[in-house]
C-alpha cells in the first residue's frame, strides 16, 4: 500500500488581511522565515513521502504560484479547483484522482498553512495513524494536546480508554467555543484541539462520502470517469459548479461511526490570525514583535508588520499594526479574530481596498 499526501491550499486567509488576498493568500506568504507556509508544509513531508506522491489542491488563480514555489512536485499533482467548495469536495476530488491512479492508496490530508515543530514527533503521530488506517477502514485524525483554553480552534472529544496503541474512539466534534466553554473542555481532560489532519484509505473516505454526502459522491463519480482525459477540465467545471460548500468535518467526520484519533505530542498551530503570529514569534525587551521599517516609542506588547512602508507607533500597547502599500490595519490583539469581518465588508460592498500585491515568496 502506497502512502500519499494531499495538501489543501485553496483558502485566502481572511484573518491575515491586508497582507493575504486571493492572489497571494496566507499559505503563499513568508511568515516565520525564508520559506512560505506551503513550502514548509511540503518540506516536513520530505523523506517521509516521495515527492511524486504529494498532491496539492489549490484554485486556478493560485496554481501558477504553487507550481513556481514547489518545482520538485510533478505539475500533474497540482490540482486546481475551478471554484472554492470547502474541504469535503476538495478532499473528495483529490481522493478520486489518486484512487484512479492507485486503487490501494492511503492518503494523509493536511492544510497548507499550519505551523508544526518537532518534526520527528509529528512523523511518529503520522506513522501511528497510518498503521491503524491501513489495517482498518477507519478515518483517523490527529488531536493536539491543548496547552491553553484556546477559542480559535475546534475541539474533539474522545474516549480516554484507547482501543489500540494511542488510538482512541472519537465521541464528538465541537466548533470554536467561547472562553468559558474552552476552559471546561480543558478541565474535562477528554478534549483535544482539532488539527485538521486526516489519515485514511482513499476507498474508506469515498465510502463514507457515499453514505453521508451522496450528492457529492455522485458528482465525484462523474468527474472520475474522465480523469486524465481531454474532457477532464470541462467536466470538472460543470460538476464543481453544482456542488454545495461543506466541510469534511461537518459532512462526514461528525456523522461517521468510524472516526478515530491519535494524540499528537508536537508543537502545532493553525496560524489562524496575526495574534498567533505574535505569540509564536520572538519579541524584543518591550514585548514587541517588529518586522520591517518600524519606529516605536513607549510601545509595548505589540505586533507591527510593515515591510514596505515606514511606520511609527508611539504610546501604544497590545496592538496589531499591519501596513502595506495598499491598506493599513490597526486593531487590539484580543480582536485579531475579527479581522475577517473586513474582508466580508469589502465583499459585501464590492470594494477593492487592496490592489494585487507583488507575488510573495517566489
pLDDT digits 0-9 by tens, 214-271: 999 999 999 999 999 999 999 999 999 999 999 999 999 999 999 999 999 999 998 8
Q: Is the pLDDT of residue 358 over 60?
A: no
pLDDT of residue 343: 86
pLDDT digits 0-9 by tens, 265-301: 999 998 888 999 999 999 999 999 999 999 999 999 9
CATH superfamily, domain 3-269, is Spore Coat Polysaccharide Biosynthesis Protein SpsA; Chain A (3.90.550.10)
Q: Is the pLDDT of residue 359 over 80?
A: no
Q: What does the domain layout of the chain look like in residue ranges?
A: 3-269, 274-348
pLDDT digits 0-9 by tens, 149-200: 988 899 999 999 999 989 999 999 999 999 999 999 999 999 999 999 999 9
What share of the chain in percent tops pLDDT 90?
Answer: 79
Mean pLDDT in the chain?
Answer: 92
What is the arithmetic mean of pLDDT over 339-350? Answer: 87
Q: Is the pLDDT of residue 35 over 60?
A: yes
Instruction: Annotate 220-289 with three-state secondary structure.
Output: HHHHHCCCCCCCHHHHHHHHHCCCCCCCHHHHHHCCCCCEEEEEECCEEECCCCHHHHHHHCCCCCCCCE
pLDDT digits 0-9 by tens, 37-71: 999 999 999 889 999 999 999 999 899 999 999 99
What share of the chain in percent tops pLDDT 70?
Answer: 97
Q: Is the pLDDT of residue 94 over 80?
A: yes
CB neighbours of residue 216 within 10 Å: 24
For the entire predicted model, the pTM comes to: 0.90
Amino acid at each position: 500500500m502506497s502512502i500519499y499526501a494531499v495538501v489543501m491550499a485553496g483558502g485566502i486567509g481572511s484573518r491575515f488581511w491586508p497582507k493575504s488576498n486571493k492572489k497571494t493568500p496566507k499559505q503563499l506568504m513568508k511568515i516565520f522565515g525564508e520559506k512560505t507556509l506551503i513550502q514548509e508544509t511540503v518540506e516536513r513531508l520530505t523523506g517521509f513521502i516521495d515527492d511524486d506522491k504529494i498532491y496539492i489542491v489549490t484554485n486556478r488563480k493560485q496554481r501558477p504560484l504553487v507550481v513556481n514555489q514547489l518545482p520538485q512536485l510533478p505539475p500533474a499533482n497540482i490540482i486546481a479547483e475551478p471554484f472554492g467548495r470547502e474541504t469535503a469536495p476538495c478532499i473528495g476530488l483529490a481522493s478520486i484522482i489518486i484512487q484512479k491512479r492507485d486503487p490501494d492508496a492511503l492518503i494523509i490530508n493536511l492544510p497548507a498553512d499550519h505551523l508544526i515543530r518537532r518534526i520527528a514527533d509529528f512523523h511518529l503521530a503520522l506513522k501511528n495513524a497510518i498503521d491503524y488506517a491501513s489495517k482498518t477502514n477507519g478515518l483517523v485524525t490527529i488531536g493536539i494536546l491543548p496547552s491553553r483554553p484556546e477559542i480559535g480552534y475546534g475541539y474533539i472529544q474522545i474516549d480516554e480508554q484507547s482501543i489500540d496503541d494511542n488510538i482512541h474512539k472519537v465521541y464528538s466534534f465541537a466548533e470554536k467555543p467561547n472562553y468559558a466553554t474552552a476552559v471546561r473542555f480543558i478541565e474535562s481532560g477528554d478534549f483535544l484541539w482539532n488539527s485538521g489532519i486526516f489519515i485514511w484509505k482513499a476507498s474508506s473516505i469515498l465510502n463514507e462520502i457515499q453514505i453521508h454526502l451522496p450528492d457529492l459522491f455522485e458528482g465525484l463519480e462523474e468527474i472520475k470517469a474522465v480523469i486524465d482525459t481531454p474532457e477532464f477540465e470541462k467536466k470538472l467545471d460543470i460538476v464543481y459548479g453544482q456542488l454545495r460548500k461543506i466541510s469534511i468535518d461537518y459532512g462526514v467526520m461528525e456523522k461517521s461511526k468510524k472516526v478515530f484519533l491519535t494524540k499528537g505530542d508536537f508543537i502545532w498551530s493553525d496560524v489562524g490570525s496575526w495574534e498567533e503570529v505574535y505569540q509564536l514569534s520572538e519579541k524584543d525587551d518591550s514585548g514587541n514583535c517588529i518586522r520591517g521599517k518600524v519606529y516605536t516609542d513607549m510601545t509595548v506588547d505589540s505586533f507591527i508588520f510593515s515591510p514596505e512602508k515606514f511606520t511609527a507607533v508611539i504610546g501604544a500597547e497590545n496592538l496589531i499594526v499591519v501596513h502595506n502599500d495598499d491598506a493599513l490595519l490597526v486593531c487590539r490583539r484580543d480582536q485579531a479574530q475579527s479581522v475577517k469581518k473586513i474582508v466580508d465588508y469589502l465583499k459585501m460592498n464590492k470594494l477593492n481596498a487592496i490592489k494585487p500585491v507583488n507575488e510573495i515568496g517566489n
